């Protein structure tokens, strides 16, 4: 192995370690934080559009607390789906829960901000005839739209759903109508999604912070979200 190859392996190993340190910290913080699903609903002053947060697999909405706070502080009402729990269920079932909440709260022109699996749930919701037109758009962060080959090594149904050949995933890939309303944000190095998160027909944006989770702390992410939210306001 050449010196440059060794350095590349070491660099990616360091990125991987930093990524898992980040997710470990925020998962623990989410477990101990006393936060309510209603904490971010009433910003003053309030600006459009409202935001609906959708976390990734084995994440609660509290894992996205830094984004919820940042968007709330900028005037956006932030909605969460507490019933998702740790989001380990099937994608269609999770989409049912999201759709129920969208209808129950009579959300209109809402923009979904999703991490990883949350983007697959969000795209499912956007394609539904009952609630799809209530969603103005989605910003999906490190979402495995084409799956991940690494899913085959983990014998859990909640992870196997990310196999590129999974029937739910392949059906979502074939459903391209919502793509123009999606902004796919991804990092230059995602240890969970080696094929990346670029989505045909979507607005694709690459950030510099490496990692599947640590990208949520990228200093360019919140300004990008604010820009995308403004762009998705329906006049």
The 10s digit of each residue's pLDDT in 183-232 is 999 998 898 899 999 999 999 999 998 889 888 889 999 999 999 999 98
Q: Which among 186, 166, 20, 180 is positioned nearest to 116, based on CA atoms?
A: 186
Q: Which among 176, 179, 144 is positioned nearest to 162, based on CA atoms?
A: 144
Q: Give the model's pLDDT for residue 35.
A: 72
Q: In DSSP terms, which residues pair with 54 in a beta bridge?
A: 114
What is the edge-to-edge ordering of all strands in the sheet holding 110-115? 78-80, 51-54, 110-115, 135-141, 182-187, 203-207
Q: Give the model's pLDDT for residue 9.
A: 47
Q: For residue 204, what is the enclosing H or E element?
A: strand 203-207
Q: Give the model's pLDDT for residue 33.
A: 64
Q: Give the three-state DSSP class for 97.
A: helix
Per-residue pLDDT of 72-98, as tens digits, reads 999 999 999 999 999 999 999 999 999
Identify the residue whose tokens are 């909440």.
101
CATH topology of domain 3-234: Rossmann fold (3.40.50)
Per-residue pLDDT of 96-145, as tens digits, reads 999 999 999 999 999 999 999 999 999 999 999 999 999 999 999 999 99
pTM: predicted TM-score of the whole model, two decimal places: 0.91
């Amino acid at each position: 192995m050449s010196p440059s190859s060794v350095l590349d392996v070491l660099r990616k190993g360091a990125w991987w370690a930093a990524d898992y340190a980040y997710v470990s910290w925020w998962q623990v913080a989410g477990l101990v934080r006393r936060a309510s699903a209603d904490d971010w609903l009433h910003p003053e002053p309030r600006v459009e559009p409202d935001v609906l947060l959708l976390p990734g697999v084995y994440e609660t909405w509290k894992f996205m607390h830094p984004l919820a706070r940042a968007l709330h502080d900028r005037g956006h009402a932030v909605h969460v789906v507490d019933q998702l729990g740790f989001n380990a269920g099937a994608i269609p079932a999770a989409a049912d829960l999201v759709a129920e909440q969208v209808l129950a709260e009579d959300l209109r022109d809402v923009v979904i901000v999703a991490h990883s699996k949350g983007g697959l749930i969000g795209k499912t919701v956007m394609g539904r005839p009952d609630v799809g037109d209530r969603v103005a758009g989605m910003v999906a962060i490190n979402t495995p739209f084409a799956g991940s080959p690494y899913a085959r090594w983990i014998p859990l149904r909640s992870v196997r759903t990310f196999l590129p050949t999974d029937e739910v995933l392949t059906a979502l890939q074939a459903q391209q109508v919502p793509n123009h309303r999606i902004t796919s944000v991804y990092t230059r190095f995602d240890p969970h999604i080696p094929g990346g998160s670029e989505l045909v027909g979507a607005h694709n944006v690459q950030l510099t912070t490496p990692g599947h989770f640590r990208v949520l702390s990228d200093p360019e992410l919140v300004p990008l979200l604010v820009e995308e939210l403004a762009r998705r306001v329906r006049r």
